[in-house]
């Protein structure tokens, strides 16, 4: 995704969130649910006067931060080599937050459902694009699987990210299973995230040791 299109598309996504919040603001109850437990049931509420626009504000701040980070990385030139993939990933993340916001508004309008179950497909898509991003990531200090060993050796970086891309995209398929078992959906999200992180840290360490021997 080219940089100009990147900014236009994400500005539209963020403005859509603010527009949805403004449109439904009068129709929402004075207290709105803004947090759901592992079983997908609401367990946290806030005053709608600020709660309605919390997600669009978070999305805006996050987008600005993610747009700024590639410019301050010491290896900024390497990031430019996969910047289009990075732009796609950031855009997918903004769509993810918009989807979460739409679910939140819908739930507070009286459409009760298991929030975790409805989030599973969005998490799966997000994880798939994490895999696509790391597959193309060049060594840098901001984006990718950053362990002491990947940052110390370009070969370790390459092999760890090659494995990471496969693990994250297979994890996306596992996360989808959570749609069909709503009572256990949270585990189909958390377990792949935790195990993949631990496995990749260990793998990068072992690869580093192998190269140094």
**Across residues 135-151, what is the average pLDDT?**
95
pTM of the model as a whole: 0.91
> Is pLDDT above 80 for 16?
yes
Q: What average pLDDT does range 68-92 have in this prediction?
A: 94
Looking at the predicted structure, is the pLDDT value of residue 8 above 90? Answer: yes
pLDDT of residue 48: 86
Residue 32 is inside which H or E element, if any? strand 31-36
Percentage helix, strand, coil for the chain under 3-state DSSP, each rounded to 5: 75, 5, 20
pLDDT in tens, 96-121: 999 999 999 999 998 988 888 999 99
Residue 5: other Cβ atoms inside 10 A: 12
Stronger pLDDT, 44 or 167, i.e. the higher one: 167
CA 132 to CA 49: how far, in whole Å? 38
Q: How far apart are CA 93 and CA 125, in angstroms?
A: 9
Return the domain boundaries, the chain: 3-212
According to the per-residue pLDDT averaged within each range, which of 30-39, 40-49, 188-197 is highest? 188-197
pLDDT at 38 over 80: no
3-class secondary structure for 128-167?
Answer: HHHHHHHHHCCCCCCCCCCCCCCCCCHHHHHHHHHHHHHH
Q: Is residue 40 pLDDT above 80, yes or no?
A: no
pLDDT score of 180: 92
């Amino acid at each position: 995704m080219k940089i100009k299109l990147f900014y236009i598309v994400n500005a539209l996504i963020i403005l859509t969130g603010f527009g949805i919040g403004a449109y439904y603001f009068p129709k929402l109850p004075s207290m709105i649910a803004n947090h759901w437990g592992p079983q997908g049931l609401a367990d946290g509420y806030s005053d709608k006067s600020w709660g309605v626009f919390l997600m669009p504000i978070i999305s805006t701040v996050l987008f600005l931060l993610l747009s700024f980070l590639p410019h301050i990385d010491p290896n900024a030139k390497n990031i430019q080599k996969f910047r289009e993939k990075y732009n796609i990933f950031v855009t997918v993340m903004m769509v993810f937050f918009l989807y979460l916001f739409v679910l939140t508004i819908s739930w507070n309008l009286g459409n009760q459902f298991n929030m975790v179950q409805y989030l599973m497909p969005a998490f799966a898509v997000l994880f798939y694009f994490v895999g696509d991003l790391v597959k193309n990531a060049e060594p840098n200090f901001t984006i990718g699987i950053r362990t002491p060993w990947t940052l110390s050796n370009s070969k370790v970086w390459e092999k760890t990210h090659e494995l990471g891309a496969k693990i994250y995209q297979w994890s996306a398929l596992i996360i989808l299973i959570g749609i069909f078992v709503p009572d256990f959906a949270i585990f189909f999200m958390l377990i792949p995230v935790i195990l993949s992180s631990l496995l990749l840290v260990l793998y990068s360490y072992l690869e580093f040791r192998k190269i140094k021997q």
